Amino acid sequence: MTTPKEKREPTTNLPSITSRPFPPGVAKPAIRALASAGYTHLDQLENASEKELIALHGMGSKALEILRSALKERGKTFLS
């Protein structure tokens, strides 16, 4: 007879990707890439360049476009 699997605690200190600190439509791999680089909220991205972000493993052009648009709605941009 097998026993039920125990709930496992996360093994990393990455923020929960279900809390949505980034706009809807940004894929989970992109959110994980941002979190791994230390970005936990959209507003922090005004201190990053597009070149820096697109180089992150898991970040794609679609996610970058969504983030660019969300920053623009707040009157902000990526670093030049």
Global confidence as pTM? 0.75
Whether residue 68 lies inside any domain: the answer is: yes
Task: Tell me the pLDDT of the chain (80 aa) as tens digits.
Answer: 555 555 655 545 554 444 569 999 999 999 999 999 999 999 999 999 999 999 999 999 999 999 999 999 999 999 98
- Domain residues for the domain of 35 are 28-73
Helix (H) or strand (E) holding 71: helix 61-73
> Looking at residue 18, what is its pLDDT?
45
Whether residue 21 lies inside any domain: the answer is: no
Q: Which residues contact 71 (CB under 8 A, 6 or more apart)?
A: 42, 45, 46, 77, 78
Rounded CA gap, 49 and 78, in Å?
Answer: 5
Whether residue 54 lies inside any domain: the answer is: yes
The token pair at 31 is 């959110």
Whether residue 46 lies inside any domain: the answer is: yes
Which of 51, 61, 53 shows the shortest CA–CA distance to 35?
A: 53
Dihedral (Cα; 13, 21, 45, 49), 10-degree rounding:
80
Number of domains in the chain: 1
